[in-house]
Structure 1
Amino acid sequence: MIYLEMKPDALKYHLEYISNNSPNNATCLKEKLRKERDKYIELISMSVRRTDEYRYLKKCKVLYYFLYTNIEKIATANIVEMENYEKSFSYYFPKFFEDVGEDKYIEISNNLKTLFENEYKRFSKGYSIEIDKKKKRWNAYEYIKLLRIKVCPYCNAQFTLTIHSTNVETEGGPSRAELDHFIPKNEFPIFSMSLYNLVPSCKVCNQSLKHSRKTSFSTHFNPFDTEINNQFYFSRQFKKYKKKRNKINYVDAILGETNNFEITISPKNIFNNLSLTPEEKILNKKVNNNIKLFRLKSIYNQHKDFIQENILKARIYNELYLQQLHLDFPNLIQNYDVRVLVTKEASEFQYNILSKALHDIIETEILSPKI
């Protein structure tokens, strides 16, 4: 729901981790894929030609040769490239092995899952890599720390702090956000180590809400998508008072003095639904799928008190009031830009909970010029 920027250094370190053995002799993923390919070459040499087993082994060799030569691209592919890889794998993998029989198809599928899932488990602790002639440890903890995200990008409602441990015996180990596989590693094992598929997230979103539910780059928004901030729109829908003949108390609600409203989340193009292009309809569908998957409406309506409090602050600290404070206390109040004080810019969403919702609501109701 909020944009998460991939850092160039993360791609640089991950590429080294995937491609080259550790200075401490840990075997990299690319080398493991080469060994798998060589294993099938050896098995082919011992197999009888023109048999089903021989054809199956040759297919396995081709698969691992493809992965060996392309793993760097797969591990660092961006959003657009990942979507293409996802579609290609979904189509070509079952088609390539469709004539080997169900047992052999399950065998090669499980082989892939075991190799890549073990590699992902190893990434939890990682190993040392050599960058610019210096050793550096690269693992899930270092990856998340480098991204500098402090809140879950799926919901923007939970903190995901990275805490370093200075003494394991007295403090325990370090703490970090969970890593969600945006497209599930069980179904797409070859993307288990793809950075754009590894999304730092809170436990609620990762384990309770998303878990193993199927998502894809074509049906849901990935936080690394640069368009994500612009596609979700938060607003308030005011309720009617039963005791007041079903009238809406707009004054109290707008002033932030009542929580008799609902937080609504919708695609930004919802108001032009009749004239949407096919691309805009796809974007809207992705937004709605994220809202449903992560139960965003339910989550945000449990934070109405916090949102109400900040709306009230935005009303109080209007521009005239801040200008007067600046005149009275010039050394204390140096910036009286209301937006700076009551909302966060898009670049700051990843550091502040509920910041996207507050930005949209306060911008629409208070800060935008009224015609």
Structure 2
Amino acid sequence: MYRFVSSQRPIVLKKAYLKEYNVKELQRKLNILMMNYPEIKEVLPKNISAIKLLVGNFKYLTRVYCAFTDYLNKKETEEKNAIKKTFKDKGFNYDNHKSKIAKFLKNNTNGFEIHNCVYCDLEDITTFTKTDGTEVRKFETEHVLDKGECPLVGMSLYNFVPSCGTCNGTAIKGTKTIGDTEVEMARLSPSAEGYDFENKVKFEVKILIPDIDDLKAISHTDDYEIDFNVREALYQKIIDLFELKSRYNHGTVKVELLKWRDKRRENPDNKIQENARLLERSFKDTFEELFELDLRRREHYTMEKARRDVMLI
């Protein structure tokens, strides 16, 4: 959760993805674009190639994106739009490849596990099969770096993150970047090396009323809120952009988390140990069953990180 990587070895994954394209033809188109736009070639990373654009790491893609958009932002709107259209139409048109890209991401042999939205973990995005046998893809292939602003990264493997429609929609992320500078952007993608929302941000239950009897949160939901312990300030940008605080304090989401928080408080380790002794079971097995840990791991429940965090597991 909160990280999108493949269990396949990177070199194997990249080779598999490159097989989806006519790389020589794409390189030919890139060469023509660079010849026709020497000023853009000058600002892009040296020795840019179709292969690097397709399977380069996210830090490299950010360099390309920032160089390209910084150059275009100095142009008038009409010229800027014309250049973007040319780069899309003459080489890097995601729309021409989106079906095979989605199929590649769904292919289990490529090592991807797509269960819940990588950004929010609030929505199940698992593909399902209709009664007529056809598959319905629930996840959206979200471009972390907007393909409209920089068509060059429109087909880049490490620019893809499977997300829910809410996170990918215009009301939340849309075409925005995650982060305000190149350095921030390079670190704030679930596909980026070193991305660690899992450990850098912890969900917690915050008491809003001082001196409240801190027992049954589920009976006094308005007196509590789901908050975040942010251990590296950079990750606050994820929380803010995806409106995680509002969404985790909304309706049944908040109630569900408060319920599990209460259950953990009602079952401290000493009580679980006593139950384990009476049942002649191990503490681990008793704990796992009580809090449904194995079941939820196996079935990939949504908001599991939040649930475990608020229970301090």
Under a length normalisation based on structure 2, what TM-score does the superposition of the two structures give? 0.76
1:330 deviates by: 3.3
Equivalent residue number for residue 33 of structure 1: 26
Matched, 1:112 2:87: yes
1:222 deviates by: 1.3
Aligned pairs, number:
301
Corresponding residue SS for 1:199: strand
1:287 deviates by: 2.1
Is residue 40–residue 68 contact of structure 2 (8 Å, CA) maintained in 1?
no
Cα shift readout 1:84-116 (whole Å, capped 9, x = no counterpart): 33334345x549x97xx9876654431112245
Corresponding residue SS for 1:200: strand
2:198 aligned partner, one-letter code: N
1:336 deviates by: 4.5
1:76 deviates by: 1.8
1:265 aligned partner, one-letter code: F
**Take 1:306 and 1:84, find their aligned partners in 2: how far apart are those partners?**
41
Mapping for residues 269-348 of structure 1, pairs under 5 Å: 283-284=232-233, 286-302=234-250, 303-330=253-280, 335-336=284-285, 338=287, 342=291
1:157 deviates by: 1.2
Corresponding residue SS for 2:215: helix
**Take 1:68 and 1:193, find their aligned partners in 2: how far apart are those partners?**
18
Instruction: Pick the structure with greater CA Rg.
Output: 1
Corresponding residue SS for 2:203: strand
Mapping for residues 210-289 of structure 1, pairs under 5 Å: 210-216=173-179, 218-219=183-184, 221-225=188-192, 226-240=195-209, 247-253=211-217, 257-259=219-221, 260-268=223-231, 283-284=232-233, 286-289=234-237
Identity in percent: 18
Change (3 A) 1:187 1:15: farther
1:179 deviates by: 0.9
Q: Which runs of 5+ in 2 are unaligned?
A: none
**Take 2:263 and 2:177, find their aligned partners in 1: how far apart are those partners?**
41
Is residue 151–residue 160 contact of structure 1 (8 Å, CA) maintained in 2?
yes
Is residue 179–residue 199 contact of structure 1 (8 Å, CA) maintained in 2?
yes
Corresponding residue SS for 1:31: helix
Is residue 238–residue 261 contact of structure 1 (8 Å, CA) maintained in 2?
yes
Measured on the aligned residues, the alpha-carbon RMSD in Å equals 4.1
Q: Which runs of 5+ in 1 are unaligned?
A: 23-27, 42-55, 128-136, 241-245, 269-282
Is residue 7–residue 146 contact of structure 1 (8 Å, CA) maintained in 2?
yes
Under a length normalisation based on structure 1, what TM-score does the superposition of the two structures give? 0.66
Matched, 1:89 2:82: no
Equivalent residue number for residue 142 of structure 1: 107
Change (3 A) 1:360 1:186: same
Is residue 144–residue 159 contact of structure 2 (8 Å, CA) maintained in 1?
yes
1:294 aligned partner, one-letter code: F
Is residue 29–residue 90 contact of structure 2 (8 Å, CA) maintained in 1?
no
Equivalent residue number for residue 151 of structure 2: 189
**Take 2:241 and 2:109, find their aligned partners in 1: how far apart are those partners?**
23
1:4 aligned partner, one-letter code: F
1:6 aligned partner, one-letter code: S
Corresponding residue SS for 2:3: coil
Matched, 1:204 2:166: yes
**Take 2:190 and 2:260, find their aligned partners in 1: how far apart are those partners?**
26
Is residue 178–residue 241 contact of structure 2 (8 Å, CA) maintained in 1?
no
